[in-house]
Amino acid sequence: MPGVKYTVITTKDDNTSTPYDASFLKAGPRAEVSNVVVQDVCKVDHKIDHNDLTTDPIPTELVIKGLQGKKVSCTA
């Protein structure tokens, strides 16, 4: 939709949406899309799969920042 800012957060360990980048969106006219891979923006020392995107604190932090319109990055 024009004027909408979308944020997609995915993980390289995703076995549900394969390949993981199949989750990415392409911006339409006058829309903005940020496609974020957890492992590309955060130091991750454990596996984060599809279901972990809703419960693991690392992607949870990214979701909150995306919803707040902030740069999607890790604090640690």
Residue 73 lies in a domain: no
Residue 72 lies in a domain: no
Condensed to tens digits (0 to 9), the pLDDT of residues 10-61 reads: 999 999 999 999 999 999 999 999 999 999 999 999 999 999 999 999 999 9
What are the percentages of helix, strand and coil residues in the chain, rounded to 5? 30, 15, 55
User: Rounded to the nearest 10 degrees, how much is the dihedral formed by the CA atoms of 39, 55, 57, 9?
Assistant: 40
Residue 76 lies in a domain: no
Domain region containing 21: 5-67
Residue 31 lies in a domain: yes
| pTM to 2 decimal places | 0.88
Instruction: Give strand ranges (E) for the chain.
Output: 5-10, 32-37
**Residues with Cβ within 8 Å of residue 25, at least 6 apart in sequence:** 6, 8, 33, 35
Q: Between the CA of residue 9 and those of 25, 31, 37, what are the distances in Å?
A: 10, 17, 6
Residue 75 lies in a domain: no
Number of domains in the chain: 1
Condensed to tens digits (0 to 9), the pLDDT of residues 29-41 reads: 999 999 999 999 9
